[in-house]
Amino acid sequence: MASEAAPQTLVCLQCRREVDVKPTLTFLGFQTFQCPSCSANITYPLVPQYRKSYQIATPIVALMTLIGLWIGKPLIPGIGFVFMFYALLRDRALVRGLKAASRPGA
Ligand SMILES: [Zn+2]
């Protein structure tokens, strides 16, 4: 497996050009790159593996929290859960922005 990300053709959310970039992965699994055309720093939605694991883990932690409340031993969701939840929310907003940017017209 290659350690370096392969170049990808992505749409810049700033200038809406298609650019060939090597996105870097952030701590939470978002892809970021600097647009070679307008040099804006762009954040892309989560890579699919991260999104999938967050989507699996988040309901489990939420369920455990509910069970904890029910049996009277509340489980305090870890900071990891807060990050995952934030990542999913941010991801949703980014996907929406990306769809708007990829849409032709205007
Ligand atoms: Zn750009």
How many C-beta neighbours within 10 Å does residue 77 have? Answer: 16
Domain ranges for the chain, please list them: 8-102
Q: How do residues 1-41 score in pLDDT, each as one tens digit?
A: 445 667 899 999 999 999 999 999 999 999 999 999 999 99
Q: Give all strands (DSSP E) within the chain, no chain letters.
A: 8-11, 18-21, 24-25, 30-34, 41-46
Cα 98 to averaged position of ligand 1 atoms, centre (Å)? 13
- Residue 15 Cα to ligand 1 midpoint, Å, equals 4
Task: Summarize pLDDT for 56-104 with one digit per residue, the tens.
Answer: 999 998 888 888 888 987 777 777 888 999 999 999 999 998 888 877 6
